[in-house]
């Protein structure tokens, strides 16, 4: 089980595509990738989770940390393409009221 | 070293004379002895060089120089070997410290399940690794009330255990606010938010069961919803209350709800280790839990907890992926 993370910049937005399973073992890689992102007032960050098949609470911690950093550094973050299962995880934890989250919307990039 | 050299000399001479398997076997055992005594590889070559000079004095100077060269080559091996040895020792020290930390955690975070006259309480909390990321805290007075906090720290190992101690001491200093679930969560949230790093947080379900009034009020900080089994209606309902995880934002407010608890009703509070079935995609864990409880509702609270654990562990092929905690309160 592994995870793939890659980025594309388009129309003033930085798209991050995350594919695979986010758990205790793959979370450090995702954290490193997200830590490298520099927030910038003129650029939104959109993370596409439509190809994330599983995420545990460690994974959730990565997104919370990323969100908190975005708050401090005035960055805009949006999570898109969440499966019902993932969305439920964000709902139970109260994070869906806090973060900008969209379900089942895949980002199309040329 | 002199003694080793004498032993080596005898072994080498025997081998040169007989060249038997037995001689080689003796040499292998000798190597074990060398490793045990921490003799470096370059020293072994040094021994060989000295012995060769003794038993074959006619060896040329060139050959002796060649041995010196080999000794130099072996020095790096020796250093790596010593580094490895020192790592092994460190590893053993860490293991020991982890064991001590786990023992301290067990003592510090030991949950005592209250034994009350009119309420039956049971609990199972099984860590997946040495340190438990789940913690249950009770506060009770017989015939009056029982409070329960079920918590799950995200982040594992030692940092999670330290964070958990903070939660415990926070809960112990609640004094008069214990009757108000939202206050409890707000206080603990402030304690945690100040002290943990960005990727660590805690989920908590807090319930206050007023035994005299037969009401159960509860609030949740990003925790798995609890279940309420109504014996009268033979029905389950979800005890949901919206609220953010503890430790994310400093001034989070929490809402609470209240239900009436009647004779033979059951409350089931759990962590996500109970409901999460990683390898069963479309599986509804709550259906399984309610079925087990409904079928076995006449068992004691403790027996129900144990049964849930056994059946869910079996369903998951004995490979649970998270700490497993369930608390059952029966009236």
Burial class (CB in 10 A: 0-12, 13-18, 19+), B193: middle
- How deeply is A79 buried, as exposed, middle or buried, from its count of CB atoms within 10 A (0-12, 13-18, 19+)? buried
Identify the band that residue B316 occupies on the pLDDT scale cut at 50, 70 and 90. Answer: confident
Q: Give the pLDDT confidence score for residue B245 in this predicted structure.
A: 94
Question: Is it the case that residue B280 has pLDDT exceeding 80?
Answer: no
Q: What is the mean pLDDT of residues A57-70?
A: 89
Q: pLDDT (tens digit, 9 = 90+) per residue, B244-257?
A: 999 999 999 999 99
Instruction: Sketch the domain layout of chain A as residue ranges.
Output: 3-103
Write out chain A residues lying below 8 Å of B182, CB-based.
none
Write the residue in A56, A58, A64 that is nearest to B248 by C-beta: A64
**pLDDT over threshold 90, residue B323:** no
Q: How many domains does chain B have?
A: 2
For residues B227 and B141, state if they share a domain: yes
Nearest neighbour of B244 by CB, restricted to A31, A54, A94: A94
Percent of chain B with pLDDT over 70: 97
For range B169-179, the mean pLDDT:
84
Q: Residues B59, B202: one domain?
A: no
Which segment of A9-13, A94-98, B138-142, B275-279 scores lowest on mean pLDDT?
B275-279
Residue B157 DSSP SS3 = helix
Q: Note whether B212 and B122 are same-domain residues.
A: yes
- Predicted confidence at residue A109, as pLDDT, reads 53
Average pLDDT over residues B274-303: 84
Percentage of residues in chain B having pLDDT higher than 90 = 60
Angle, alpha carbons A83-A85-A88 (nearest 5°): 110
| B276 and B306 housed in the same domain | yes
Question: Which of A27, A57, A59 to mutate: most B Cβ within 10 Å?
Answer: A57
Torsion angle in degrees (nearest 10) through CA of B177, B183, B207, B117: 0
> What distance in Å separates the CA atoms of residue B140 and residue A13, rounded to the nearest whole number?
54
- pLDDT-based confidence at residue A110 (cuts at 50, 70, 90): very low
- The residue written with tokens 């590889």 in the block is B41
Interface test with B, best of A70, A94, A98 (most B CBs within 10 A): A94
Predicted pLDDT of residue B175: 73
For residues B65 and B125, membership in a common domain is answered with no
Closest CA in chain B for residue A93:
B222
Domain boundary among B100, B121, B150: B100
Rounded to whole angstroms, how far apart are CA atoms A4 and A16? 10
Residue B186 touches partner A, C-beta closer than 8 Å: no
Report the predicted TM-score, pTM, of the whole model to 2 decimal places. Answer: 0.78
- Please indicate, yes or no, whether residues B90 and B133 belong to a single structural domain of this protein: no
Q: Which of A27, A30, A71, A92 to mutate to test the interface with B (most CBs of B within 10 A)?
A: A92
For residue B94, give the CATH number of its domain: 1.10.1240.30
Distance CA B210, CA A98 (A): 33
Our measurement of the distance from residue B312's CA atom to the centroid of its chain's CA atoms, rounded to an integer in Å, reads 19
Query: Does any CB of chain A come closer than 8 Å to the CB of residue B323?
Result: no
Which residue pairs, CB below 8 angstroms and at least 24 apart, start in B68-72? Answer: B70/B45, B71/B42, B71/B45, B71/B46, B72/B42
Is the model more confident about B158 or about B166?
Answer: B166
Q: For residue B149, is pLDDT > 50?
A: yes
- B54 is in which domain, residue-wise? 2-100
Are B243 and A94 within 8 A, CB to CB?
Answer: yes
Domain end (from B73, B100, B127): B100
Rounded to the nearest angstrom, the minimum Cα separation between A110 and chain B is 32
Which residues in B lie closer than 8 A to residue A31 (C-beta atoms)?
A: 199
Report how far residue A27's alpha carbon sits from residue B273's, in angstroms, rounded to the nearest whole number.
18
The pLDDT of A45-71, averaged and rounded, is 90
Residues of A in contact with B154 (CB under 8 A): 57-58, 60-61
Q: What is the C-alpha separation between A69 and A47, in angstroms, rounded?
A: 15
Nearest to A57 among B221, B225, B272 (CB): B272
User: B225, A92: Cβ pair inside 8 Å?
Assistant: yes
| B187 shares its domain with B284 | yes
Q: Which B positions 201-240 lie with beta carbon below 8 A of chain A?
A: 201, 203, 221-225
Biggest distance spanned by C-alpha atoms of chain A:
35
The region of weakest confidence among B138-142, B160-164, B304-308 is B160-164
pLDDT: which is higher, A108 or B153: B153
pLDDT at B228: 97
Which chain A residues are within 8 Å of B152, Cβ to Cβ?
57
**Could you give the angle at which helices A27-35 and A57-72 cross, rounded to 10 degrees?**
10
Q: What is the mean pLDDT of residues B88-92?
A: 93
Q: B125 exposed, middle or buried (CB, 10 Å; 0-12, 13-18, 19+)?
A: buried
Contact assignment for B199 to A31 by CB distance below 8 Å: yes
| Domain end (from B100, B130, B158) | B100
pLDDT value at position B157?
67
Mean per-residue pLDDT, B105-127: 91
CB-based contact A56 B197, cutoff 8 Å: no
Residue A17 has pLDDT above 70, yes or no: yes
Q: What is the pLDDT of residue A105?
A: 57
B120 and B206: one domain?
A: yes
The H-assigned helical ranges of B109-172 are 157-172
Transcribe B189-252 into DSSP letters: HHHHHHHS-TT-EEEEEEEEEETTTTEEEEEEESPPPEEEEETTTTEEEEE----PPBTSSTT-
- Verify that B121 and B44 share a domain, yes or no: no
Mean of per-residue pLDDT scores for chain B: 90
Q: Which DSSP string do the residues of B75-89 spell out, in sequence order?
A: HHHHHHHHHHHHHHH
Question: CB distance from B278 to chain A under 8 Å?
Answer: yes
Q: Is B191 on the interface with A (CB under 8 A)?
A: no
Q: Is the pLDDT of residue A91 over 50?
A: yes
CA-based nearest residue in chain A for residue B254? A94
Confirm if B126 and B323 have CB atoms less than 8 A apart: yes
Report the CATH number that the domain containing residue B289 is assigned in CATH: 3.60.40.10
* A3-103 is classed CATH 3.40.50.300: no
Judgement on whether residues B183 and B291 belong to the same structural domain of the protein: yes
Mean local confidence (pLDDT), B115-134 = 88
Residues B120, B83 share a domain: no
Q: Do A95 and B248 touch (CB under 8 A)?
A: yes
Same domain, B86 and B119: no
């Amino acid at each position: 089980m592994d995870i793939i993370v890659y980025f594309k910049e388009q129309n003033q937005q930085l798209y991050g595509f995350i594919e695979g399973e986010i758990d205790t073992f793959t979370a450090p890689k995702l954290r490193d990738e997200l830590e490298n992102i520099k927030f910038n007032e003129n650029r939104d960050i959109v993370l596409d989770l439509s190809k994330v098949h599983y995420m545990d609470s460690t994974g959730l911690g990565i997104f919370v940390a990323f969100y908190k950093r975005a708050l401090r550094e005035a960055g805009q973050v949006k999570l898109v393409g969440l499966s019902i299962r993932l969305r439920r995880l964000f709902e139970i934890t109260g994070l869906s009221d806090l973060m900008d989250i969209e379900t089942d919307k895949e980002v199309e990039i040329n | 070293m002199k003694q080793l050299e004498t032993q080596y000399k005898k072994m080498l001479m025997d081998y040169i004379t007989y060249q038997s398997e037995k001689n080689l076997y003796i040499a292998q055992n000798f190597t074990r002895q060398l490793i045990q005594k921490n003799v470096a590889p370059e020293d072994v070559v040094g021994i060989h060089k000295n012995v060769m000079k003794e038993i074959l004095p006619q060896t040329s100077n060139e050959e002796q120089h060649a041995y010196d060269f080999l000794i130099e080559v072996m020095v790096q091996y020796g250093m790596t070997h010593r580094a490895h040895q020192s790592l092994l020792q460190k590893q053993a020290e860490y293991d020991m410290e982890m064991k001590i930390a786990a023992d301290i955690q067990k003592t510090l975070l030991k949950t005592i399940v209250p034994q009350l006259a009119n309420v039956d309480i049971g609990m199972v909390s099984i860590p997946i690794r040495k340190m438990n990321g789940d913690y249950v805290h009770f506060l009770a007075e017989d015939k009056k009330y029982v409070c329960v906090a079920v918590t799950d720290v995200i982040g594992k190992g030692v940092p999670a255990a330290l964070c958990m101690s903070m939660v415990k001491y926070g809960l112990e200093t609640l004094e008069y606010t214990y009757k108000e679930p939202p206050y409890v969560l707000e206080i603990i949230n402030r304690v945690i938010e100040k002290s943990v790093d960005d990727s660590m947080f805690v989920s908590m379900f807090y319930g206050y069961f007023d035994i005299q009034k037969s009401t159960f009020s509860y609030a949740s900080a990003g925790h798995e919803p609890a279940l309420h089994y109504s014996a009268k209606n033979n029905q389950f309902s979800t005890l949901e209350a919206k609220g953010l995880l503890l430790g994310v934002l400093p001034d989070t407010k929490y809402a609470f709800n209240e239900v009436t608890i009647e004779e033979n009703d059951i409350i089931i509070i759990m962590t996500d280790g109970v409901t999460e079935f990683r390898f069963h995609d479309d599986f509804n864990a709550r259906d399984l839990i309610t079925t087990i409880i409904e079928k076995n509702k006449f068992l004691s609270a403790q027996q129900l907890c144990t049964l849930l654990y056994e059946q869910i562990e079996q369903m998951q092929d004995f490979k649970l992926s998270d700490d497993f905690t369930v608390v059952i309160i029966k009236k």
